[in-house]
Homo-oligomer: A and B are copies of this chain.
Amino acid sequence: MYIGIDLGGTNIAIGIVDDNAKIIIKGSTPTFNERNYQEIVKDMADLSMELINKAGLKVEDIKAIGVGSPGSIDAKNGIVVYANNLLFNNVPLREELNKYFDIPVAVENDANAAALGEYKATGVESECFVAITLGTGVGSGIVIDGKIFRGFNGAGGELGHTTLVADGVLCTCGRKGCWEAYAAVTALIRQTKVAIEKHPESLMNEIVKKNGGEVSGRTAFDAAKQGDKVAQTVVDQYVKYVADGVTNVINTFQPETLVIGGGISREGEYLVNPVRQYCEKYSYTKGTLPETKIQAATLLNDAGIVGAAFAAKELIG
């Protein structure tokens, strides 16, 4: 058994995970991210202990703990180098957790952990696997020969920060035209707002009004499904942005499987199928070789827990 901790800016989700990637029990507690790390880690430890007890287990049953944290991670030393939305700066997460549990602790970037979780969920031992998460940003994690790929300095796999449109929309990273600036849900919301402003007659406007004025990542998809043409244009353009970046990922990695996660992946085949068609048409190999399987993520919110647990398993070999 392993403990997997998905540390987010809002919530800490924790689960006890077995060797088959099954979550035995899980729970969550608010992060209250303005606190210092010692208090946050204490809550992690308390909830972990609570879950161990609830599951009728003993501390000795837990072989290792894994934590998926946002930000830049020094996985070797178990340190969160920097995490913007946690006010973390060189936080020795492993050392601090070891004050409560004297077992190995893996610290991993959250997108990497989620990718490892989704990889385990496929049940296939791929040579190469990529998970893309469409959310506030475009996150990504790459698994090569069963191990998370991090590059030499631990910061590899920032696929959201590869150019899609040279000199395009300014990205949060300071560059212009990153994939993230076009394919994140934040970007879809921006694209939806622009379309509503131009076409106030669109069904999207009604949906937004019913929704208390809030434009979400679902607005355009919902209206398009009801036949709204303006919404369909927004969806088509957004899908093209997603697919263009996915094609880049395929030409780069030729992963056996590529999963698309994040809230928007709940659209399922409505999102994934056109992406698949685009990639089949434009990928470098175009069907001359076995193609990457593109599918919606299956674990979604649980991917972080399962992946963190497997990062722990990987750590102890």
- List the interface of chain A (C-beta within 8 A of B): 72, 81-82, 126-128, 144, 149-159, 161-166, 168, 173-175, 241, 244-245, 247-248, 251-256, 282, 284-286, 288-292
Asked if residues B82 and A162 are in contact (CB atoms below 8 Å), the reply is no
Given contacts A163-B164, A163-B248, contact A153 B254 (CB under 8 A): yes
Q: Find chain B residues with CB under 8 A from A128 CB.
A: 151-152, 156
Asked if residues A161 and B284 are in contact (CB atoms below 8 Å), the reply is yes
The minimal Cβ–Cβ distance linking A63 to chain B, given in whole angstroms, is: 26
Asked if residues B289 and A153 are in contact (CB atoms below 8 Å), the reply is yes
Q: A interface, by DSSP: helix, strand, loop or mixed?
A: loop
CA distance A166 to B245 in the complex (A): 10
Q: Find chain B residues with CB under 8 A from A81 CB.
A: 288-289
- Choose one: B155, B285, B288; the contact of A254 (CB below 8 Å): B155
Asked if residues A289 and B164 are in contact (CB atoms below 8 Å), the reply is no
CA distance A253 to B140 in the complex (A): 12
Q: Find chain B residues with CB under 8 A from A157 CB.
A: 252, 254
CA distance A127 to B148 in the complex (A): 13
CA distance A241 to B175 in the complex (A): 14
CA distance A215 to B286 in the complex (A): 34
